[in-house]
Structure 1
Amino acid sequence: MTGRHIAFIGLGSMGSGMALRLLDSGFRVTVYNRTKERALPVAEAGAELADSAAQAAAAAEVLVLSVADEGAVEEILFHHIELRADVLVVNTSTVSPKYARDASARVEKTGARWIDACVIGNPSQAREGSMRVLASGAPEDVEAAKPMLTALGSSVIPLGPVGQAPAMKLAFNLLLGAQVASLADAVRYGERAGLDRDLLLAAIGVSGFSSKVMSFRADLMRSGEFQPAAFRTSLMLKDLRLVVEEARDLGLELTVTETASAYFERAVAAGKGDFDAAVIGEASA
């Protein structure tokens, strides 16, 4: 890597964990978050606290984005920051492959560079550095980012040109959304058929039909503890919409994914966007 000074923008549950992990790994980290209070625990751990995205990025060699959506990436990169020619942009935010390619092309016009670094894991894994990192971009740029990426993940998987990592991340999140929606259906059916909800969820969680994702969400549905969210319902809806739109551009119809998306859409409309995606298993969801 050209240097060890990282500007980290976006300190939600995943971003905070990643920023703290980078601090623990010996990187110099400057942080910025639109809601300043979220940045304070990371600053107290040793990060430099910037008053703006532009200030955070001013001297750093690497700019890491961990924000909610394409709109936030767009606003930060192309409206609030003047990119320098020597900066490597590392986008961990989940965006569409099409947007990643477009943003990368515009970043490169400034002389800066872009790689996708999509992360698979939860906030605890982000803090521990045990996520999987899906990386795509020019090989030399992915290689330059390797010290940082290996600090964040137990494995770093290079996938080729820009856009490939977002495509794989969306494929994974498609599976997540469909599994949680099918679990919610199984619980609704079981309850209506007279089964005890807790017994059903416990049985599903340890069955051969389960997965780590399904077992984790089954536990959340049993406890009713949906905050703090491991994966917010609003973000699940956003990702499912992205993959459905991308599939349409590719001439595909993803019927299961579109159906699952409707479950999360109803939950967000009911004011549960900040709850974990497992909230769709609630009877009122």
Structure 2
Amino acid sequence: MKIGFIGLGIMGGPMAANLVKAGHTVRGHDMSAAPVERLAALGGEAAAGVPDAVGGADLVITMLPDSPQVEEVAPLVVAHGRPGLLYLDMSTIRPETSRRVAREAAAAGVRALDAPVSGGERGAIDATLSIMVGGEREAFEAARPVLGSLGTTIVHVGPAGAGQTVKAANQLVVGGIYGLVAEAIVLLEASGVDPVAGLDVLAGGLAGSRILELKRHTMIRREFTPGFRIDLHHKDMGIAVAAAREAGVALPLTGQVAQLVAAARAQGHGSLDHSALLKVVERLNT
């Protein structure tokens, strides 16, 4: 397929590269020149702007930081896309924004899906992302072959906006687990127990998780090279809290996790990996 890809950052760059490897013609655009040049070096094409990336495409993907960026770019995708275009917004944004984008796209004959992802930079590189998709079933089935080049768990979860709601649930669970792993490390170390041995046991039992599998050793070593930054998780927790308010439900643990993430950002750790919640828990104990 001819694919326009807008947003070639930590996640979007490797995702676009995987689409090139899968044999698609990928025309990419980013606000920075370097990621566009990297894509071109891998066999992709450089677009001069959003209209250039969208023009002539069968499918367009946006992977942008937040709702305001999607609200700015989506109208350009709709305006310059051909009738029947598949538009996958794979950013993590507010559900109501995705619903509005879908309505406006449908009015112009564009099939829009919200398709946020989970799996971090490693998942983007390895094409093992989990992808939660909201929108029309027919559009989802049409997009599935392309999504198969990006992830291994690909699920249609409901109408427009549902993908973003599932992603909000994902982020509150991920944040909560990071916080609990951080507390486990602090407890083990304060008790004189080897945290490596302790977390190895936890990872093999009922407490096991993908986070323990991938991040326990780097957390113990206090290595917080970003795969997913605190700044972005802070944004996502705001989406989760807002979604809970819109649904009229109380999520007390989500509120606590949101405050923990906010504290990490306030303490200057926004550019670090979200596993740096450990630094906040340590500070509470010094």
1:274 Cα deviation after fit: 2.1
1:230 Cα deviation after fit: 2.0
Between the aligned partners of 1:79 and 1:31, the Cα distance in structure 2 is 15
- Among 75, 82, 107, the residue aligned to 1:78: 75
Between the aligned partners of 1:201 and 1:128, the Cα distance in structure 2 is 25
Check if 1:126 corresponds to 2:124.
yes
Between the aligned partners of 2:229 and 2:162, the Cα distance in structure 1 is 24
Between the aligned partners of 2:140 and 2:275, the Cα distance in structure 1 is 34
What amino acid is the match of 1:27? H
- Among 41, 46, 50, the residue aligned to 2:43: 46
CA deviations on 1:211-259 (whole Å, 9 max, x unpaired) are 12134232221122211x2221111111111011111111112110111
- Among 13, 21, 25, the residue aligned to 1:24: 21
Tell me the residue number matched to 1:60.
Answer: 57
Between the aligned partners of 1:11 and 1:67, the Cα distance in structure 2 is 8
Q: Counterparts of 1:255-270 in structure 2 under 5 Å?
A: 255-270=252-267
Tell me the residue number matched to 1:224.
Answer: 222
Between the aligned partners of 2:153 and 2:204, the Cα distance in structure 1 is 27
Tell me the residue number matched to 1:247.
Answer: 244
1:156 Cα deviation after fit: 2.2
Between the aligned partners of 2:38 and 2:264, the Cα distance in structure 1 is 30
C-alpha spacing 1:155/1:280, structure 2 compared with 1 (3 Å): closer
Between the aligned partners of 1:160 and 1:267, the Cα distance in structure 2 is 33
What amino acid is the match of 2:9? G
CA RMSD of aligned residues (A): 2.2
- 2:149 counterpart SS class: helix
On the 8 A contact 1:31/1:50 being kept in 2, the answer is yes
1:209 Cα deviation after fit: 1.9
- 1:13 counterpart SS class: coil
- Among 46, 66, 70, the residue aligned to 1:69: 66
Tell me the residue number matched to 2:7.
Answer: 10
Tell me the residue number matched to 1:117.
Answer: 115
C-alpha spacing 1:32/1:158, structure 2 compared with 1 (3 Å): same
What amino acid is the match of 2:173? L
- 1:56 counterpart SS class: helix
On the 8 A contact 1:11/1:66 being kept in 2, the answer is yes
C-alpha spacing 1:74/1:41, structure 2 compared with 1 (3 Å): same
1:108 Cα deviation after fit: 2.0
Seq. identity, %: 27
Gaps of 5+ in 2: none
* 148-157 vs 191-200, which moves further: 191-200
Between the aligned partners of 1:58 and 1:138, the Cα distance in structure 2 is 23
TM-score between both structures, scaled by the size of structure 1? 0.90
Between the aligned partners of 2:80 and 2:138, the Cα distance in structure 1 is 19
On the 8 A contact 2:264/2:277 being kept in 1, the answer is yes
* 30-39 vs 195-204, which moves further: 195-204
* 85-94 vs 196-205, which moves further: 196-205
- 1:258 counterpart SS class: helix
1:139 Cα deviation after fit: 1.7
1:130 Cα deviation after fit: 2.3
What amino acid is the match of 1:114? A
TM-score between both structures, scaled by the size of structure 2? 0.89
* 165-174 vs 18-27, which moves further: 165-174
1:210 Cα deviation after fit: 2.7
C-alpha spacing 1:242/1:156, structure 2 compared with 1 (3 Å): same
C-alpha spacing 1:11/1:256, structure 2 compared with 1 (3 Å): same
Check if 1:155 corresponds to 2:153.
yes
What amino acid is the match of 2:32? T
- 2:31 counterpart SS class: coil
Between the aligned partners of 1:257 and 1:218, the Cα distance in structure 2 is 22
Gaps of 5+ in 1: none
Tell me the residue number matched to 2:100.
Answer: 102
1:201 Cα deviation after fit: 4.5
Tell me the residue number matched to 2:88.
Answer: 90
Tell me the residue number matched to 2:181.
Answer: 183
On the 8 A contact 1:21/1:151 being kept in 2, the answer is yes
CA deviations on 1:151-210 (whole Å, 9 max, x unpaired) are 222232122311122121211211101111122223334444555555554554445323
